[in-house]
Amino acid sequence: MPDLEGVSPLILNRLSVYLRCLRHLQETGVERISSQQLADRFLLSASQIRKDLAQFGDFGIRGVGYEVAVLADHLNSLLGLDRSHPLLIVGMGNLGSALSRYLGFNHGAFKVVAAVDRDPEKVGRDMGDFVIRHVDDLPAVVRDSGAEIGVLAVPASAAQENYEALVRAGIRAVLNFAPARVKRIQGVPLKNVDLRINLEEVAFVLGPQGRGRGASLADPLDDDLPT
């Protein structure tokens, strides 16, 4: 049953992970796989895989396993990756440039179609598929490019105002990489990603002044998974 409402972020992220594993298997020429094999191969839990998947329909074949290609395609469309998601990068400094490379992937589901910056030096630069435009032109840029998701890669102090500008320009969702919490405006999904928190986590396991050796606590690192 495609019970799409109320899917927890935990399950969602695992689906992404499963999909990546499956793509990997596909490239390796594997056609069928059981939940147990998947779990062994990628350090996951077999029963969890089954439960996660069963939520969205009966993709498997009892006694056999899952058809890699079929399952991958199901997940792909479930995650909304079967249609293209045009991205707009706001702020083309190092982070913005890095993200524009990093995020274009996944069988073409995500594609950077536009970028804006405040710096006149950068405006006009040709990025191959598009030209960097001025942040003041956001409304026109969003309209012309058809961008759907805005990616904030601006300094912390400029994050909130740029989010709001994106909303006014008609963007449908925003991902914020600036190290500042942005407050969501009703109706425009927003995800704040703070890269620094990961560093703090790692710093913690190293302990006060080198508590013991490495992995002390409940092995908390590693939330996400394979490629």
Q: Which of its own copies, DNA, none does residue 221 bind to, with CB < 5 to 8 Å depending on kind?
A: its own copies
Question: Smaller CB distance to DNA: residue 50 or 133?
Answer: 50
Find the binding residues for DNA in span 50-89 (CB under 7 A).
Answer: 50-51, 53-54, 58-66
CA distance 112 to 101: 9
Binding of its own copies by 28 (CB under 8 A)? no
The token pair that represents 47 in the structure block: 């029963």
Cα–Cα nearest to 148, from 175, 186, 185, 183: 175
Give the amino acid at 197: I
At 78, phi and psi to the nearest 5?
-60, -40
At 114, phi and psi to the nearest 5?
-165, 160
Binding of its own copies by 190 (CB under 8 A)? yes
Provide the 8-state DSSP code for 61. Answer: B
Binding of DNA by 47 (CB under 7 A)? yes
Question: Smaller CB distance to its own copies: residue 56 or 137?
Answer: 56
Helix (H/G/I), strand (E/B), else coil: 188: coil
Q: How far is the CB of 47 from its own copies (least distance, A)?
A: 21
Stretch that binds DNA, among 20-28, 39-47, 145-153, 173-181 (CB under 7 A): 39-47
Q: How far is the CB of 112 from DNA (least distance, A)?
A: 32
